[in-house]
Structure 1
Amino acid sequence: MFKPTPRHIATALLAAGILSGCSLAPQYVRPQAPIATAYPGDAAAQPGSSAGAPQSADAANAVDTITLGWRQFFPEPRLQALIADALENNRDLRTAALNIQEARAQYNIQSADRLPTIDAVAAGSRAPTGTGNNIATSYQVGLSLASFELDFFGRVRNLSAAALNQYLATEEARQAAQISLVAQVAQAYLAERAFAEQQTLAQSTLEGRQSAYKLAQKRFEVGATSALDLRLNDTLVQSARIALATLARQRAQAGNALTLLVGKPLADEPAGPTLSEQNLVTDIPAGLPSDLLTRRPDIRAAELQLKAANANIGAARAAFFPRISLTAGVGTVSNQLSGLFKAGTMAWTVAPQLVLPIFDAGRNRGNLNLAEVRKDLAVVAYEKSIQTAFREVADALVARGSLDEQIDAQQAFLDAQAERLKLADLRYQNGVASSIEVLDAQRDLFAAQQSLVQTRLLRLTNAIDLYRALGGGLNESAALAPTAAK
């Protein structure tokens, strides 16, 4: 039996390490971003710039702005507490964290194949010798190298690279889930605040209409008004009751949605400020579309999945080439247990094995085709993630300007309706107009009040959508003075 020295084994392992630098994976090239060079309506984007061009100073400042953390973007203490609880207790985020642990464990398993596995071995055997009743006894103790693959063509290395990119993609997915969770909690909280504000308006309106109905009833009893006027006042009371009951239900459901996101029952705390008093950051510069490639963790995750698919092609290609594995051992062998560590019992063994695929019924070709198709799918998914991100930012930018104008117009409309009601009531008191004119003005004023609250909610939600779409929400170290919402 050939008994090589430790120098022989070290030389073989060194050669295997050098040769394992060979890789059959295609050279990775990031696909061109299939988006326009500027956002529609974005003043921060530089005209004529390309998606891969260097950023201007303004665009670079925009990136710095987006890195502000959610504590700076949402300065209200109650909302901050809700977001912090959600980050700690939300079950979807816990699932994302566990997925990271799973991917990390998978990568550790796969990367371990790149290094030899050395085991301590102790064995004993007894067997007949075939002559008479003699029994042969053998004892062995030592170290063994269990079938270590000499990765000449990078199969193991590419599998390890694929597992690493899968692990990193899972981490990016968790960050994307965190950004989404922060935005969802903020939107659910603002929705609850909007319903609360509308409910207060409805309660005040109901009380006012009930007082007006009692007055109309007294006037009807003395013959100063008609039954039609009384019934019209009654319809306004009932419509206010309907609105109040509807808003109470919607507010309770919004609270339930917020509780689910936070992951625990909501603490009894004083109500937060109204929507007009919310001071979250609304003026967010968008920068260049190419910024999304580094800002958004979901895009980074999609690219890492693409890199993993690219590495799997290298592993599939390596399956067409010979696979060489090495089994070796060193230790002592003796036919007596007491003689294991005596002089002259040392033994070395090396057993290389070469496997050359000859006929596999197309299995290797099928695996390669599968790997190439999965890479093509990963390219499409990567490009789709970029297009989706671009659309989300573009939609938020387009809505931002129109919502600012809509709030101004809605406030002016509300002021006009309030003045109309004041004049209609004055005309009614002087006998110039009928009560129908007053009742119509009351109805329209209530609708205008409700619409203004909804428009303010849309404006704040739009700011959150833009913040999330631009990839903000992770860094909590940066600070930015908040701008009061309209």
Structure 2
Amino acid sequence: MSSRLLAQLSLTICVALAGCTTAQERDAQALDFPVAEQWREADAIVEPLAASWVETFNDPLLTAMVHEGLVNNFDLKAAVARIDAAREQAVIAGSERLPELFFSPGYQRSKNDSNIGASVFGAFSALFNFNWELDVWGRIKAGQQAAEEEALAAADDFRAAQLSLAARIAQVYFEWLEAQLQTQVAEQSVKDRSIIAGLIRGRFNKGLSRGLDLRLVLTDVANAEAQLAQARNDVQRLGRQLQALLARYPDDSILMRHRALPQPPMALTAGLPSELLARRPDVMAAFKRLRAADSRLESAEKALLPRITLTAAGGTGSPALTELVDPRAVAWNVAIGLVQPLFTGGRLQGEIRLNEARVSDVFNQYQSVALNAFREVEQALAAESRLRAQEKALREAVDQTEASRKLAVYSYQQGLIEILTLLDSYRSTLNAQSAHLQVQRQLLNNRITLYLALGGAV
């Protein structure tokens, strides 16, 4: 009878082993879409990225703000806590591979009332329990590996959050500088239009200009003042937004520091497309979560195998505390057991299918994250040349509108043009200057977007 049970148990184990496999080896480069050998943009330089992209802008204030944000930002501190939690979760998952030992000392006192009198009894006890599941098939180890991969993914998430925060600080900083320059342009525009308004008012008082001309120029001055108010509001709004990123209280301590926008570095160092998968932290985190899903599937499959446990219990009790240390008074027992799942109502098979679906889900998420990473780099590289062409054209437009405005003032004084033409020349000048500042800032933001897309170090 015992031989027959042993044979059945051996057959059960063999069948279970046949249906269980270890987690498959994954290759981060194995994607379901072809990856180009070179970036499509011809200006991209195949060289290693700079050690710090923030330093390439050669702006000490920007560098100081980014470093301050990386130290003080509360979202980053929360991300650090999530890393710690993930690491401890891995410790908890791995603890099941080690034996558990509990020691329970105690004292019990009782009183027994009877016809012949009351008796009081007291006894000390020292008990222990020992439990250990022998991870013969690696089921618990697979679960531990899944938790460790999740902890590594959390660390990559933190690095991605660092890059994102640094990029956001830099972008808001450049928007803040642009808003200050836009304020200067608007102030100059109000000043110039006020001079024209004074000129038209003087001509109107002398009967040399119509009332309509005066109304039109005063309307134009009011519109310019409204634009100035909007520009000043943008300065304070962006300044406070920048302070929040730096974990500072939003006040006026950093407002109105007029500085010029820096020029973006000319070189477009981008490396090779294949390097992106091993450098960009969000892609790396997605790949580690795929490996974690594989390990969970392995653990679910190995739950079909028998579990071997080793248990022990023992202890001693005595009315005298000193007698507890006598080894001859200790009673103990040791048992080894085997539990083989035979019927669980489909729970174990359902958990396997559930984890298979999760593996497929995470695998496709990894494909999507990788594809999006390539798109962001190609998009930023392509935008660079177009933004440079736009900046060059707008710089020429600023020069032309400046010249046409001066010519319009002279022509109006000579009576050669109407007031509307003069006012249009001022509006054109303001619009060209404002658009030129915007595209300068867009060039800087696009370069930051490229560094972020490449996963470059701060």
What's the TM-score, normalizing by structure 2?
0.86
Residue 30 in structure 1 maps to residue 27 in structure 2: yes
Deviation, structure 1 residue 369? 0.8
Residue in structure 2 matching 1:108, options 91, 94, 108: 91
> Which residue in the other structure is 1:39 paired with?
39
- Cα separation, 1, equivalents of 2:27 and 2:86: 23
**1:74-85 map, 5 Å:** 74-85=57-68
> Which residue in the other structure is 1:274 paired with?
260
- Cα separation, 2, equivalents of 1:436 and 1:456: 30
Deviation, structure 1 residue 346? 5.5
Letter in 2 for 1:385: V
Deviation, structure 1 residue 303? 0.7
Deviates more, 1:285-294 or 1:363-372: 285-294
Residue in structure 1 matching 2:79, options 92, 96, 99: 96
Deviates more, 1:459-468 or 1:284-293: 284-293
Letter in 1 for 2:180: A
> Which residue in the other structure is 1:484 paired with?
none
> Which residue in the other structure is 2:349 paired with?
365
Deviation, structure 1 residue 354? 1.5
- Cα separation, 2, equivalents of 1:270 and 1:78: 14
Letter in 2 for 1:79: L
> Which residue in the other structure is 1:418 paired with?
402
Letter in 1 for 2:156: E
Deviation, structure 1 residue 394? 1.0
Kept in 2, the 8 Å contact 1:144–1:327? The answer is: yes
Deviation, structure 1 residue 123? 5.4
The share of aligned pairs that are identical, in percent, is 32
Residue 453 in structure 1 maps to residue 437 in structure 2: yes
The alignment partner of 1:92 has SS state of: helix
Deviation, structure 1 residue 109? 1.2
Deviates more, 1:327-336 or 1:408-417: 327-336
Residue in structure 2 matching 1:172, options 153, 156, 162: 156
The alignment partner of 1:94 has SS state of: helix
Distance change >3 Å, CA 83–CA 35, structure 1 → 2: farther
Letter in 2 for 1:40: R
Distance change >3 Å, CA 291–CA 116, structure 1 → 2: same
> Which residue in the other structure is 1:87 paired with?
70
- Cα separation, 2, equivalents of 1:383 and 1:298: 12
Letter in 1 for 2:69: A
Q: Number of aligned pairs?
A: 427
Residue in structure 2 matching 1:259, options 234, 243, 246: 243
- Cα separation, 1, equivalents of 2:79 and 2:179: 31
RMSD of equivalent CA atoms: 2.7
Distance change >3 Å, CA 234–CA 335, structure 1 → 2: closer
Kept in 2, the 8 Å contact 1:28–1:310? The answer is: no
For residues 366-421 of structure 1, the C-alpha deviation after alignment (integer angstroms, 9 at most, x for no partner) is 11111111111110111111011111111100100011111111101111111112
- Cα separation, 2, equivalents of 1:24 and 1:335: 56
The unaligned stretches of length 5 or more in structure 1 are 1-22, 45-57, 128-132, 475-486
Residue in structure 1 matching 2:300, options 307, 313, 316: 316
Kept in 1, the 8 Å contact 2:412–2:418? The answer is: yes
- Cα separation, 1, equivalents of 2:320 and 2:289: 57
Residue in structure 1 matching 2:100, options 95, 117, 133: 117
The alignment partner of 2:271 has SS state of: coil
Kept in 2, the 8 Å contact 1:25–1:312? The answer is: no
Deviation, structure 1 residue 187? 0.5
> Which residue in the other structure is 2:176 paired with?
192
Residue in structure 2 matching 1:394, options 367, 378, 387: 378
Kept in 1, the 8 Å contact 2:90–2:148? The answer is: yes
Distance change >3 Å, CA 74–CA 216, structure 1 → 2: same
The alignment partner of 2:269 has SS state of: coil
The alignment partner of 2:39 has SS state of: coil
> Which residue in the other structure is 1:8 paired with?
none
- Cα separation, 2, equivalents of 1:332 and 1:343: 9
For residues 227-262 of structure 1, the C-alpha deviation after alignment (integer angstroms, 9 at most, x for no partner) is 232222112211201211222222222223222212
> Which residue in the other structure is 1:212 paired with?
196
Deviates more, 1:174-183 or 1:434-443: 434-443
Higher relative contact order (CA 8 A, sep 6+): 1
> Which residue in the other structure is 1:55 paired with?
none
Deviation, structure 1 residue 139? 6.2
Distance change >3 Å, CA 269–CA 256, structure 1 → 2: closer
